[in-house]
Structure 1
Amino acid sequence: MAVSPARVFASLIPASGGLRGEMDELELNYTTKPRSPPPRVPTRRVEVTGSAELRSPPDRAALTVSVTSSKESVNDAANSVTRRLDYILQTLRQRGVKEGDTVVTKHTQRDDDLYRMQAEVSVVFSDFEKMQCVRSLLIEKLDRSVCVGDPQFSHSEECLSLLRRRVCVAAVETARLKAIEVCSVLGQGLGRPLLVREEDFQEWTCGQQGGVVNPTLTLQQKVGQMTVCASSRVFVTFELRPKDSTRKKL
Structure 2
Amino acid sequence: MAWPATCLLGSLQLAETPRVGPGELENKPGGPAGPPPQQGGRGVQVTGAAQLSAAPDRARVRVQVTSNKGTAAEAKDSVQRRLEYIAQSLRQSGVRDENRTITKELQRTSNVYHMEAEVCVIFNDFEKMQSVSNTLVEKLNSSISICSPQFYHTPECVEKLRREVCLSAVSNARQKAQDVCLLVGQSLGRPLMIKEEEMREWEDQGENNSGSPTIQQKIKSCTLHAASKVFATFEIKGKVRPKNN
Q: TM-score range by the shorter chain?
A: 0.7 to 0.9
Aligned to 1:205: 203
Q: Is the 8 A contact 1:213 1:222 kept in 2?
A: no
- The residue matched to 2:145 in structure 1 has which SS? strand
Structure with larger Rg: 1
Aligned to 1:81: 79
What is the CA-CA distance between 1:70 and the residue it aligns to? 1.4
5+ residue gaps, structure 2, are 1-22, 24-34
Kept in 2, the 8 Å contact 1:81–1:117? The answer is: yes
Q: Output one character per residue of 1:60-102: Cα deviation in whole Å (capped at 9) or x when no partner.
A: 0111101011112111110111111111111111111101111
1:230 aligns with 2:196: no
TM-score, normalised to structure 2, is 0.80
Are 2:191 and 1:216 equivalent residues in the alignment? no
TM-score by length of 1: 0.78
Is 2:120 the partner of 1:140?
A: no
Distance 1:39 1:109, change over 3 A: closer
Give the structure 2 partner of residue 19 of structure 1. Answer: none
List alignment gaps of at least 5 residues for structure 1. 2-36
Query: Any idea what the Cα deviations from partners look like across 1:123-163, whole Å, max 9, x if unmatched?
Result: 11111111000001111111323101111111111111110
Q: Are the counterparts in 1 of residues 181 and 188 from structure 2 also a CA contact under 8 Å?
A: yes
Amino acid at match of 1:160: V
| Percent of aligned pairs with the same amino acid | 47
Aligned pairs for 1:1-250 (under 5 A) are: 41-208=39-206, 216-244=212-240
Distance change (3 Å), C-alpha of 1:216 and 1:39: closer
User: Contact conserved, 2:185 with 2:240, CA < 8 A, in 1?
Assistant: no
Contact 1:70 1:117 (C-alpha < 8 Å) held by counterparts = yes
Distance 1:131 1:215, change over 3 A: farther
Q: Which amino acid aligns with 1:54?
A: L
Shift of 1:40: 5.6
**1:218 partner amino acid:** T
C-alpha separation in 2, matches of 1:248 and 1:78? 84
Q: Which residue number in structure 2 is paired with residue 32 of structure 1?
A: none
Report the Cα distance in structure 2 between the residues aligned to 1:213 and 1:127, rounded to whole angstroms: 26
- Whether contact under 8 Å (2:100, 2:121) holds in the other structure is yes
> Structure 1 residues 214 and 162, CA, compared in 2 at 3 Å: closer, same or farther?
farther
How big is each residue's C-alpha offset from its partner over 1:93-120, in whole Å with a ceiling of 9 and x where there is no partner?
1111101111111111122221111111
CA distance in 2, matches of 1:133, 1:92: 10
Indicate conservation of the 8 Å contact 1:213/1:225, yes or no: no
